């Protein structure tokens, strides 16, 4: 194999590698968007559950007086 052929093959491999990196980068960006969306939804669900269970920062109701 000549030096030219080796250089040409190395350039081809570099181009293929760059294309794969670009494809993976787009995939990671898409996954990051999905994770942010899931995090937002989870935060809303946690808030709703917190309000439903009385775990929110509101004070507890005053104690009831005993019946006469």
For the stretch 6-30, what's the b/e string if a residue is b when 16 or more beta carbons lie within 10 angstroms of its beta carbon? eeeeeeeeeeeeeeeeeeeeeeeee
**What pLDDT shows up at residue 2?**
92
Local confidence pLDDT in tens for the 68 residues of the chain: 799 999 999 999 999 999 999 999 999 999 999 999 999 999 999 888 887 775 556 677 788 877 76
Straight-line distance from the first to the last Cα atom of the chain, in angstroms, rounded to the nearest whole number: 105
**What pLDDT shows up at residue 58?**
66
| Predicted structure pTM score | 0.56
**What pLDDT shows up at residue 55?**
54
């Amino acid at each position: 194999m000549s030096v030219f052929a080796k250089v040409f093959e190395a350039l081809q491999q570099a181009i293929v590698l760059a294309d794969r990196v670009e494809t993976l980068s787009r995939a990671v960006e898409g996954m990051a968007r999905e994770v942010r969306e899931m995090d937002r939804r989870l935060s809303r669900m946690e808030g709703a559950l917190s309000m439903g269970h009385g775990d929110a920062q509101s004070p507890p109701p005053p104690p009831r007086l005993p019946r006469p």
